């Protein structure tokens, strides 16, 4: 029974690591092929969640089944799970704050845009003050 | 008994994933170098540091020396603070005038 | 075991190449905020180089200073002065002389 649970943990973990590597490669190619900053945010989301969160959980699960590390496997697994948890909280917050700051400061604007209601509202608020 | 493959297969698969992360870091670095505007560079450095934090833990497992893995968490958290600093600079600088 | 010495040295050379290119971009940048962000990327590359050389204690210090404190301090300084570097010294010399 214990061996079966260990095998399930191992296979889920190794699949998550390989899937995370492939997703990270896809995100890095998309980072070079998208034309605008707001389009590159999609690639950054894939690179942070798909390429950071999934492989960290996968490494934490795989390391628990490597018995040659001794007691230190709990150390590596704890670091991997803690990093994955904080990454899940902080990566969307950071990219959202960066996009909001870039749009508010008018550094980059969405180029092929028919109508931009957010920019009109911001100008209305600034003019009203 | 034979549910889990031997340890060499595990190390081979993890080494393959490490190669994928190194290749991804090269493409992210190209975006860092030729990013036209400032938010592009910050975003690329952000994702590059997340990528390399994963690489640190994979490297420590592959080298069989787990004490190297301690650098992943500070790298990720300080990259997040870099993001927040730059966003705060944008808001304060351009809105204050 | 999976990372024999030649592969380690190749990765170390790769990360030091990142650091070299970013240092050159820092030197030639006219936008000071862009120069600060390039320097933060150089700190990320140095962090990975220190991991390659198996020094996790230096990683903890370098990533806090290079990515976090340096960027915060210099963004604060640049927000009090001008953002773009100009040829003010030559013009000042011409006006006075």
How confident is the prediction along chain C (97 residues), in pLDDT tens digits per residue? 555 667 888 999 999 999 999 999 999 988 888 999 999 999 999 999 999 888 889 999 999 998 889 888 998 888 888 777 776 555 555 555 4
Token digits of residue C14: 């790769």
Judge whether residue A129 has pLDDT over 80.
Answer: no
**Structure letter (DSSP) for residue C2:** -
**Tokens encoding A22:** 């492939």
What pairs with residue C31 in β-bridges?
A: C84
Compute the nearest-CA separation of B11 from chain A (Å): 10
Angle between helices B38-62 and B72-96 (to 10 degrees): 170
Provide the pLDDT for residue C89: 58
SS (H, E, C) chain A: CHHHHHHHHHHHHHHHHHHHHHHHHHHHHHHHHCCCHHHHHHHHHHHHHHHHHHHHHHHHHHHCCCHHHCCHHHHHHHHHHHHHHHHHHHHHHHHHHHHHHHHHCCCCCCCCCCCCHHHHHHHHHHHHC
A46 close to B (CB below 8 A): no
| Residues of chain B neighbouring C50 (CB-CB closer than 8 A) | 71
Query: Which chain A residue shows the shortest CA-CA distance from B29?
Result: A28
CA distance B1 to chain A (A): 7
Residue C84, beta-bridge partner list: C31
pLDDT bucket at A27, cuts 50 / 70 / 90? very high
Stretch A45-59: mean pLDDT? 92
Tokens standing for A59? Answer: 């490494």
Q: In this complex, which of B49, B63, B81 lies closest to C3 when CB atoms are compared? A: B63
Q: Residue A47: which of B53, C37, B8 has the closest Cα? A: B53
Q: Exposed (0-12), middle (13-18) or buried (19+): which is B33, by Cβ within 10 Å?
A: middle
CB contact under 8 A, C47 and B45: no
Note the pLDDT tens digit of each residue in B61-96: 988 888 888 989 999 999 899 888 888 888 876 544
For residue B96, the model assigns a pLDDT of 42
Q: Pick B2 or A41 by higher pLDDT.
A: A41
What pLDDT score was predicted for residue B93? 60
Contacting C with CB below 8 Å, chain B residues are 11-12, 14-15, 22, 26, 29, 32-33, 38, 41-42, 45, 48-49, 52, 55-56, 59, 62-65, 67-68, 70-71, 74-75, 78-79, 81-82, 85-86, 89, 92-93
C59 and B74: CB-CB below 8 Å?
yes
Confidence (pLDDT) at B97: 39
């Amino acid at each position: 029974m214990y061996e079966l649970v260990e095998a399930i943990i191992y296979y889920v973990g190794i699949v998550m690591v390989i899937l995370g590597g492939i997703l990270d490669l896809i995100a890095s190619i998309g980072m070079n092929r998208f034309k605008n900053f707001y389009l590159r945010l999609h690639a950054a989301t894939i690179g942070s969640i798909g390429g950071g969160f999934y492989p960290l959980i996968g490494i934490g699960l795989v390391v628990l089944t490597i018995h040659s590390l001794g007691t230190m496997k709990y150390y590596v697994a704890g670091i991997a799970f803690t990093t994955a948890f904080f990454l899940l909280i902080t990566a969307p917050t950071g990219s959202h704050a960066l996009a909001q700051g870039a749009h508010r400061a008018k550094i980059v604007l969405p180029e092929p845009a028919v109508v931009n209601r957010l920019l009109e509202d911001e100008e209305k608020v600034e003019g009203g003050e | 008994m034979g549910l889990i493959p031997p340890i060499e297969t595990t190390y081979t698969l993890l080494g393959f994933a490490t190669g994928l992360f190194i290749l991804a870091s090269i493409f992210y670095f190209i975006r860092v170098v030729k990013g036209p505007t400032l938010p592009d560079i910050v975003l690329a450095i952000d994702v590059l540091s997340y990528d390399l934090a994963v690489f640190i833990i994979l490297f420590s497992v592959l080298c069989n020396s787990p004490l190297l893995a301690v650098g992943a968490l500070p790298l990720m958290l300080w990259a997040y603070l870099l993001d927040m600093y730059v966003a705060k600079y944008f808001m304060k600088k351009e809105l204050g005038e | 075991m999976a990372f024999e010495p030649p592969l380690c040295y190749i990765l170390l050379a790769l990360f030091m190449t990142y650091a070299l290119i970013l240092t050159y971009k820092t030197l030639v940048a006219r936008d000071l905020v862009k120069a600060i962000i390039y320097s933060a990327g150089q700190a990320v590359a140095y962090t990975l180089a220190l991991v390659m050389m198996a020094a996790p204690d230096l990683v903890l210090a370098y990533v806090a200073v290079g990515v976090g404190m340096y960027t915060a301090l210099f963004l604060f300084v640049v927000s009090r002065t001008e953002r773009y570097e100009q040829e003010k010294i030559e013009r000042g010399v011409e006006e006075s002389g």
